[in-house]
Amino acid sequence: MATAWLRFYEELNDFLPPRRRKRDIAYPLTRRASVKDVIESLGVPHTEVDLILVDGRSVGFDHIVGDGQRISVYPVFESLDISPVQRLRPKPLREPRFVCDANLGRLARYLRLLGFDTLYRNDFRDREVAELSARQRRILLTRDRRLLRRRILTHAYFVRAEDPREQAREVVRRFDLAARARPFTRCARCNGLLEDVDKEQILDRLEPKTRRYYDRFRRCRDCARLYWQGSHHDRAAALVRHLLSESREPPAAGP
């Protein structure tokens, strides 16, 4: 039977069962198949792949796999310059914007707290969130591997951590966001930008103690929610420091 040989590198092994990690994988060719189809049939989402070498030559996802070919599959590169070869991702998004699937609401709130433009609804459907990612050039964040297989996606990331705070730290590290964070500039509830508002304009919305002890306020441009540096601010500031602190390595994606 015709057979191709594949090997996955670095964090792409997170998507493979232990017996297939960091070793050559024999793949029987029972039908005509593109390298993208072969890679995803083994459990690795195409959105995690940035370089494919077939017998040492870089190819695109549409390459038809042939008998005896040796295929090396690499993840998205952060610092290594691979410009001479066929990189599979479009140009990186200089101003990262995100969309979270319906199961990552807490992560979305934490990213907004850090100042990152992040869309989220708890009733997002897979098709809708994938189309938003493609149309608005947003990085899709998800823990659903099936969602990552949608062909329309070009910028997406499988979040390894389960705890929302660790998810946020993972995303900050993965996309090198710490220096770009602008905490307390977005509404955690709706993603709108915050702006300073004169206290006199909002007196009717303030509780008596808030009106008495606080003078500086910010208001969301979209939903009009008010923010001020009350007793909760110190806790929020501590959370921001935690989310931006150096993170440990992300957990494996599992078998």
Query: What pLDDT digit, counting tens, does each position of 6-37 carry?
Result: 999 989 999 999 999 999 999 999 999 999 99
Pick the CATH number of 3-75 from 3.10.20.30, 3.40.640.10, 3.30.1380.20, 3.30.200.210: 3.10.20.30
* Predicted pLDDT of residue 221: 96
Terminal-to-terminal C-alpha distance of the chain: 27
| Position 165 confidence tier, pLDDT thresholds 50, 70, 90 | very high
* Predicted pLDDT of residue 92: 52
> Is 90 exceeded by the pLDDT of residue 206?
yes
> Is 60 exceeded by the pLDDT of residue 89?
no
C-alpha–C-alpha distance, residues 206 and 212, integer Å: 9
Count of CB atoms within 10 A of residue 151's CB?
10
For the segment 147-173, the average pLDDT, to the nearest whole number, is: 94
Q: What is the pTM of this model?
A: 0.75
Taking the domains of the chain in order of start, what are their residue ranges?
3-75, 90-189+231-255, 194-230
Q: Decide: residue 17, CB within 10 A, 0-12 exposed, 13-18 middle, 19+ buried.
A: exposed
Percent of the chain, pLDDT > 70? 89
C-alpha–C-alpha distance, residues 99 and 138, integer Å: 6
Continuous H helices in 28-79 = 35-41
